[in-house]
Structure 1
């Protein structure tokens, strides 16, 4: 019953004060101008997670411990492998990502949807995959987006423009 009450409390808190405020309440160090979209799971040690400024994270999970030590638990009952996670400034983490213990993501980074991220992620880069690998430089991605982009953000008639563009 106690677990249900805690989940209810967290749900209500998130609805009243927002996802970023809830993350801070859980102990996540999170900068200004961040957004958490969908279910962002900070795991069992949220106080070991640091997120910079202007970071957008969609439904993803942060794991600060290695659960695999379970198979050694009888021999080593107190063994834990735990490491913090640090996210730099101006980062986008796509939906369905898993950020593993000890990961450090630099500034100005895009992590592609569904990636499993571990280790040091270079600034000014795009990473994707399982495991996440560097796909390209941020400048190349920017050039690609500028040449292929539609420039419709905030357009009042966006739906009509898109339907017309794609013959819908």
Structure 2
């Protein structure tokens, strides 16, 4: 009991002081190069999660690697079922998305914020919703978004603020 409490306290402390990527690696998540990890939610079997190169996992994304085995344990007390999660290269996963067991996300995919990914996603897709469905291709989205490209990525935060605040409303995305 004391050992369990000490481990929980250590884990809580490490969540606060380590980078999110380093914390995920410590849990057993396999992470490629040039990733940006902003979540701490890797479920109870983080070692079943593989993340490729150039992947951005934003705030509050949850990875779930187990099923609802609890329901079956009245008949089979040892019941447990799991699914690995594989994220290929060059993927963006939007805030508050949930990735379920057994899902494979192909290369060059955008997962919209708040999506619940229940099935594998083919490469070059943009998906969103609950359950997540293909909305368009990455190439089609890029073509549509070009008119909104403001090329601010290399500006300092102050320069970016000044620039954005002086633009007309027509230069921003509107829904």
| Cα pair 1:43 1:63 within 8 Å, conserved | yes
Aligned length: 165
Counterpart of 1:27 in structure 2 is 28
| Cα pair 2:96 2:114 within 8 Å, conserved | yes
Q: Residue 13 of structure 1: CA displacement?
A: 3.1
Query: What RMSD, in angstroms, separates the aligned Cα atoms of the two structures?
Result: 1.9
Q: Residue 14 of structure 1: CA displacement?
A: 4.3
Q: Residue 123 of structure 1: CA displacement?
A: 0.3
Counterpart of 1:159 in structure 2 is 161
138-147 vs 47-56, greater mean Cα deviation: 138-147
Counterpart of 2:142 in structure 1 is 142
User: Residues of 1 paired with 2:4 and 2:129: CA distance?
Assistant: 35
| Cα pair 1:112 1:127 within 8 Å, conserved | yes
User: Residues of 2 paired with 1:74 and 1:14: CA distance?
Assistant: 35
| Cα pair 2:24 2:40 within 8 Å, conserved | no
- Structure 2: give runs of 5+ residues left out of the alignment: 170-175
User: Residues of 1 paired with 2:61 and 2:52: CA distance?
Assistant: 17
Return the structure number with greater strand share.
1
| Cα pair 1:14 1:21 within 8 Å, conserved | no
| Cα pair 1:109 1:123 within 8 Å, conserved | yes
Partner deviation per Cα, 1:99-132 (whole Å, 9 max, x = no partner)? 0000000001000000000222010110110000
User: Residues of 2 paired with 1:75 and 1:11: CA distance?
Assistant: 35
- Structure 1: give runs of 5+ residues left out of the alignment: none
Alignment of 1:8-47 (within 5 A): 8-37=9-38, 39-47=39-47
1:128 counterpart SS class: strand
Partner deviation per Cα, 1:53-80 (whole Å, 9 max, x = no partner)? 111001210001112x322211111111
1:121 counterpart SS class: coil
